[in-house]
Structure 1
Amino acid sequence: MTPELSALVMVVLFMLGFVMVVVGGVGFMRSNLVLMDNRSWLAQGSVFAVAASMFVLGIGVHFTGSSNTAFLKGQMAQTSRCELEGESAYPDARRSRSGVIGKYIVSCMASSGFDWSDQSPLCREAPVATNGYCYEPTAWFDRLVTQAQLTFN
């Protein structure tokens, strides 16, 4: 999903959810300004439930797909930074097969809050230290959002 499309979806879901929460909430309070007397409690509850889910989905799209979050993109950028630091620290090891730079990248990512994990299908294609898909965040929320982004990637 492109950043422009995710921003549009986020705004539409957020606005629709907000309107539906107001409509359902007014009906639930039995003000009957929007939902008249002929509406059942089931219909009012359904409107409120759908509205709440739209609201939650809009927030979810914001956190998983908008360009102002850095979860998966930040993970890839951190991998690149660690690779640059490793190559700068060990310039003679660039062409050798010693694995010094790879070990540096893994330790750099670990100090940045990412654990090595070769469970991702995108990592299995190329299980090397420079592959950003071979890491997962140690924080549970970051891991959850990153896994959601990988699902839709």
Structure 2
Amino acid sequence: MNEDIAAFVAPLTLMLGGGLLALGGLSFIGVDYFDSKFKARVAFAVGLAFIVATELVFVTSSSSGRYFAGLKIDVTDCELDSESKLPEERHKNSRVLHDHIVACMERLGYEWNAEHEHCKEAKIATNSFCYLPTRPVARAIVRFQTAFE
């Protein structure tokens, strides 16, 4: 999600979600703001869903952690490192630079993975969509982020 939109939408979803969660939760202690217990439970569930969805936006945004944004920076750093160490390979059509960049990314905790559609379009070492983190949580978040690209 665009960070500009998220900054505007997040407070609204948190207020709406918090309000629904609170009003639905009050029915558990006998304070009823809704016509039925069912409506109170639905309000509680929807409020909880709003809060969880907003937290997911924060967790997967580039400002909360490195994830896909960090992966792109790491690819650029590895490209610079490889071209600095192997300047004679820059204009050749060899796999030396490719292999050096992939090895650099492996050292940083990523693995080459050509399953993403954008990677299939261009299987080159500088394509950020061709890598996934090796750590399970980061891997799941990057998969989630790149699913919408």
Same fold (TM over 0.5): yes
TM-score (norm 2): 0.90
Report the 3-state secondary structure (helix = DSSP H, G, I; strand = E; otherwise coil) of the residue aligned with 1:152: coil
Q: Which range moved further: 77-86 or 2-11?
A: 2-11
| Same amino acid, percent of matched pairs | 32
Over aligned residues, Cα RMSD in angstroms?
1.6
Are the equivalent residues in 1 in contact too, given 2:62–2:69 (CA < 8 A)?
no
Q: What residue identity is the alignment partner of 2:27? A: G
Contiguous gaps of at least 5 residues in structure 1: none
**Structure with more contact order per residue of length (Cα contacts < 8 Å, sep ≥ 6):** 1
Q: State the alpha-carbon separation in 1 of the partners of residues 41 and 20 from structure 2.
A: 11
Deviations 1:91-147 (A, max 9, x none): 122122332221111011111111101100000111011111100111222122212
Partner of 1:136: 132
Deviations 1:72-105 (A, max 9, x none): 1111111000000011111122122332221111
Matches of residues 13-28 of structure 1 in structure 2 within 5 Å? 13-28=13-28
Are the equivalent residues in 1 in contact too, given 2:82–2:101 (CA < 8 A)?
yes
Q: State the alpha-carbon separation in 1 of the partners of residues 7 and 55 from structure 2.
A: 11
Q: Which of 68, 89, 98 is residue 94 of structure 2 equivalent to?
A: 98
Partner of 1:12: 12
CA 1:105/1:66 → structure 2, altered by over 3 Å: closer, same or farther?
closer
Q: State the alpha-carbon separation in 2 of the partners of residues 10 and 106 from structure 1.
A: 37
Partner of 1:112: 108
Q: Which range moved further: 53-62 or 15-24?
A: 15-24
**1:66, CA displacement in angstroms?**
5.3
Aligned pairs, number: 149
Q: State the alpha-carbon separation in 1 of the partners of residues 105 and 84 from structure 2.
A: 16
Q: What residue identity is the alignment partner of 2:112? A: W
Matches of residues 1-150 of structure 1 in structure 2 within 5 Å? 1-32=1-32, 35=33, 39-65=35-61, 67-150=63-146
Q: State the alpha-carbon separation in 1 of the partners of residues 147 and 127 from structure 2.
A: 17
TM-score (norm 1): 0.88
Deviations 1:54-78 (A, max 9, x none): 1111111112235343211111111
Are the equivalent residues in 1 in contact too, given 2:114–2:123 (CA < 8 A)?
yes
Contiguous gaps of at least 5 residues in structure 2: none
